[in-house]
Amino acid sequence: MPKTMFDKIWDRHTVVGGGDGQSLLYISRHMVYDSSFHSFEFLKRRGLPVKRPDQTFATADHFVSTLGREISAIEDPESRHVVDLLHTNARDCGIPLIGLDDPRQGIIHVIGPELGIAQPGLLLVCADSHISTLGALGALAIGIGHAESTHVLATQTLWQNKPKLMRVTLAGTRPFGVTAKDIALAIVSTIGVSGASGHAIEFAGSTIRGLSMEERMTVCNMAIESGARVGMVAPDETTFAYLDDRPFAPRGTGRDRALAYWRTLPTDSDAGFDAEVSVDAGNIAPMVTWGITPGDALPINSTVPDPTAERDAESRTAMSQALEYMDLTPGARLTDIAIDRVFIGSCTNGRIEDLRAAAQVARCGRAVVPALVVPGSTPVKRQAEAEGLDRIFIDAGFEWRHSGCSLCVAINGDTCVPGERCASTSNRNYAHRQGRGVRTHLMSPAMAAAAALTGHLTDVRRLEGAGREC
C-alpha cells in the first residue's frame, strides 16, 4: 500500500495499536526544558527513574535572562529556581544538559536541528507545541502536555491518537521581499487558525523544495498556528547537507545506513491525504498581522478590515473584538500604524539567516523606537558576531542580547509596557502575549527591522536599500 511520510514514521514507531484508535508509540528522543519541572517532580514522588536518559535532552530557554548567561542574571526568584531545578533534575537523572554556560545553549527548537538531535525519520516529543519546527528535517515532532512528558520520561513511550493528514502544496516563484515568515503567515491566513485541527501537515511543492533548511523550519514552526499537531517537509539533499557534521548526527558507515533509510521516507506518489490545500507562492506579499491570532494576517499594502463586511456573525464579532483590543480603525492603511517597540528573535525567526536579513535592512538607517535582537542560540550569536552582524545592529541603535525565548513569551524579564504596540518576529500575537494590554503585529525579520527604522509598519520593499547593498 502506498504510504505518506507521516505513515511511514508512525508505523515504524508503533509498539501496539489500541482498540480505541490510539497507538502506543516508541519515542526516539525527548526534549525537556525549564517548564518541565512538573514531570520530574511526579517521577520523584513515584520513585521512578528516567527510562532513557541518553535519549532525553535538556536546556533552559523560557525563563532565562537575555542579559547574561549567569543564573544570577535571572532577576525573578521563582524563574531562577525553575532554571536551577532543571539543571539539578538533569544531573540527578543522568540527562544530557545544555546549560546556561554551555556554548551550545539556546531555544530548544533551535538547538534541536542545530545539534543534529533532530533527524529524518525520528519521532521526537517536547512539552511545547513548537517542537513542530523539527519536522522541517523530515522528523515526526509532536508537542505534548506535561503529564504526557512524564509518561515518556518513565517509559520512553506514549499513547497517541493518529491525526488526519493534510498536504499543503506551494508552487510558484517567490516575489521580491517575500520570506519564509510571509509564506507561513499566508498559509495560516488561508487555512485559518483552526482549519488544520486534528491534522498533521506535510508541506510540499516546488516552493518548499526551494527553501533553505532554516526557512523550512519557520514554515513548520507556524504549522501549529493553523491548528495542526505536526508540520513536516520530506527530507532531500538540502536536508542531508544540513546534517553533515552535526554533533548528534550519524557519521561514517552509520551515516551511509541513515541516508539509505532517509531516502525511503518521502511520501509515495500515489499516497492519499485527507485534505489538500494549494497556495500560489507568486501571489504572496510581505505579510503583517492586524488582529489577535496569526490567521489575522494581510499583505502590508492592505487596509485594516471592516467587520461589517463579514457575513458570518461569529466572525464579525471576533473581528470587532480583535480591532477593539488592537485599537485599530477599519479602513486604515496598515503602513500608517505606528509602533512603539520591535522584537527580532524567537524559535520562529532567531536563526542566522533571520539575523542576516534583519541586519541587511538595519544597516540602511537607525532605529527610532526601542529594538531588541535576541539570537535563537549561543552558536547563532557567535556566528552573527563573527560576521559582524552585532555591530550592524548596535550601530543602528538596536539592542543586542544573549539567546532565549525573550519577548516571545515575556515571562523572563523581557516584556513590553502595557498598551505598547510591538512589531515582532515571534509566532503568536494573542492578547497580552507580550505583556498586559500589549498589541503585537507579527512579521518577518526584514519587516521588523524596517519598522524599527521608520517607527511604523513598513513595506520593506519600499525601504531604500532593502534587499541590496546600501
Per-residue H/E/C for the chain: CCCCHHHHHHHHHEEEECCCCEEEEECCEEEECHHHHHHHHHHHHHCCCCCCHHHEEEECCCCCCCCCCCHHHCCCHHHHHHHHHHHHHHHHHCCCEECCCCCCCECHHHHHHHCCCCCCCCEEEECCHHHHHHHHHCCEEEECCHHHHHHHHHHCEEEEECCEEEEEEEECCCCCCCCHHHHHHHHHHHHCCCCCCCEEEEEECHHHHCCCHHHHHHHHHHHHHHCCCEEEECCCHHHHHHHCCCCCCCCHHHHHHHHHHHCCCCCCCCCCCCEEEEEEHHHCCCEEECCCCCCCEEECCCECCCHHHCCCHHHHHHHHHHHHHHCCCCCCEHHHCECCEEEECHHHHCCHHHHHHHHHHHCCCCCCCCEEECCCEHHHHHHHHHCCHHHHHHHCCCEECCCCCHHHCCCCCCCCCCCCEEEECCCCCCCCCCCCCCEEEECCHHHHHHHHHHCECCCHHHCCCCCCCC
Sheet holding 164-171, edge to edge: 230-233, 199-204, 164-171, 275-280
* Contact indicator for 457, 335 with CB cutoff of 8 Å: yes
CATH 3.30.499.10 domain position(s) in the chain? 5-276, 289-460
Question: What cell numbers appear for 405 in the block?
Answer: 525565548
Measured distance CA(199)–CA(184) in Å, rounded? 17
Task: Give the pairing type, strands 421-424 and 439-442.
Answer: parallel
CATH superfamily name and code, 289-460: Aconitase, domain 3 (3.30.499.10)
| Beta strands at 56-59 and 29-32: parallel, antiparallel or unpaired | parallel
Residues of the chain with pLDDT under 70: 18-19, 464-470
Q: Which residues of 197-234 are buried (b: 16+ CB within 10 A; e: fewer)?
A: eebbbbbbbebbbebebbbbbbbbbbbbbbbbbbbbbb
The whole-number pLDDT of residue 463 equals 82
Q: Give me the pLDDT at residue 469, please.
A: 56
CB 439 within 8 A of CB 359: no
Structurally, what CATH architecture does the domain formed by 5-276 represent? 2-Layer Sandwich (3.30)
Cβ neighbors of 388 (< 8 A, separation 6 or more) are: none
Each residue's pLDDT tens digit, 105-116: 999 999 999 999
pLDDT of residue 468: 54
Residue 20: predicted pLDDT: 76
Task: Give residue 466's pLDDT.
Answer: 52
Residue 2 to residue 309: CA distance in whole angstroms: 45
Residue 327 to residue 290: CA distance in whole angstroms: 10
Q: Please name which of 166, 179, 273 lies closest in space to residue 230, comparing C-alpha atoms.
A: 166
Digit-coded pLDDT (tens) for 197-241: 999 999 999 999 999 999 999 999 999 999 999 999 999 999 999
